[in-house]
Amino acid sequence: MSPPSAIEPSSNGDSQKPSNIAPHEPGLNERDAKVKMPNFPGPPKFDDPYKERAYLKGRLAAAFRIFGKYGFDEGVAGHITLRDPVDPTTFWVNPFGVAFSLIKASDLILVNEEGEVIDGGPCRLLNSAAYMIHAAIHMARPDVNAAAHSHSIYGRSFCSLGKKLDTITQDSCAFHDDHVLYDSFNGIVLAEEEGKNIAKALGNNKAALLQNHGLLTCGKTIEETVFWFVSLEKCCHAQLLADAAAAGQGGSTIKIGDEEAKFTYNTVGTPRAGWFSAKPLFDVIHKETNGDYLE
């Protein structure tokens, strides 16, 4: 039996006639009800680099609050950097030893190519590993304006397996042919050469799995970078669960085909998609903190 048509009352209320309004969608006709992928909005544009700097520092501080909320902190480990729009050879980063969940825009420190702290908040301690890794990436990748690395629990667990992520979910399609495995661990990154090796392995990809270490993501915007990290962490979690469940049944997970993965990537894996996907994370942290991070 066909589903009942929506009913629309006549102007005098005495009779009824079939309507083309879709059930449960008042006012939406069949033509407009067809699903169309909208054009994503993009990040704001600035004609003054100093105004852009002020805005981006607020976004970077919010990024740390998001990392703190998701438990991506491990003592003093972890860092997110942002290329400075006023002087692109420098970048902003969190001061060493300040909790992610407490960071404000005024706490951030500015670091030059030589690893010198040239501006920023009252605590100007620089994490040497942050400088070695991020300076190498920012120098090797002019397109990268932000990079993030932290010791998240599922990310570092997955990184102990010494393999790349399988494309087994729609979300993992964002990393299909766009992440690498850095299959080396030489301790805490305190040497310039190690940072350069990580940057070289990263290549033009958005993410790296640092073996026995953790996740690293990068992007054109801080929002994109944060979303890739959050999503990659969840993809690692999903694969750890799926692999364990499949092994328990004596089988393996079902992989998404290359063609389908590439098609999906073009929707969920682009820089614009990453930026827009991060919007809810930043909106929620702003509401929960009452904008405290902007100070």
pLDDT attached to residue 41? 82
Residue 173 scores a pLDDT above 80: yes
Instruction: Decide: 196 and 136 in contact? Cβ < 8 Å.
Output: yes
Give per-residue pLDDT as tens, 202-260. 999 999 999 999 999 999 999 999 999 999 999 999 999 999 999 999 999 999 999 99
Q: Residue 197, exposed/middle/buried by CB under 10 A (0-12, 13-18, 19+)?
A: middle
Which H or E run includes 209?
strand 207-210
Other beta carbons within 10 angstroms of residue 122's beta carbon come to 9
Strands 109-111 and 91-93, bridge-based pairing: antiparallel
> Three-class SS of residue 10?
coil
Quick one: average pLDDT of 135-149?
97
Q: Which has the minimum average pLDDT: 7-11, 54-58, 121-125?
A: 7-11
Give per-residue pLDDT as tens, 155-167. 999 999 999 999 9
Using alpha carbons, select from 252, 246, 217 the residue that is nearest to residue 231: 217
- Determine the Cα–Cα distance for residues 129 and 79; give it in Å rounded to an integer: 9
pLDDT attached to residue 23? 47
Q: Residue 14, exposed/middle/buried by CB under 10 A (0-12, 13-18, 19+)?
A: exposed
Tell me the pLDDT band of 10, cut-offs 50, 70 and 90.
very low
Residues 6+ apart with CB under 8 A from 249: none
Q: Residue 101, exposed/middle/buried by CB under 10 A (0-12, 13-18, 19+)?
A: middle
Residue 99 scores a pLDDT above 80: yes
pLDDT attached to residue 16? 60
**pLDDT above 90 as % of the chain:** 81
pTM confidence score: 0.86
Spell out the domains of the chain, with CATH numbers in brackets.
49-282 (3.40.225.10)
Quick one: average pLDDT of 50-73?
98
- Determine the Cα–Cα distance for residues 33 and 277; give it in Å rounded to an integer: 23
Quick one: average pLDDT of 268-290?
97
pLDDT attached to residue 24? 46
Instruction: Between 12 and 148, name the one with better pLDDT.
Output: 148
Q: How far from 234 is each of 156, 158, 173, 223, 257, CA to CA, in Å? A: 12, 11, 13, 17, 21
Tell me the pLDDT band of 37, cut-offs 50, 70 and 90.
low
Full DSSP string of 144-199 = --EEEEE--HHHHHHGGG-SPPP--STGGGGGTTSEEEE----SS--SHHHHHHHH
- Determine the Cα–Cα distance for residues 278 and 265; give it in Å rounded to an integer: 16
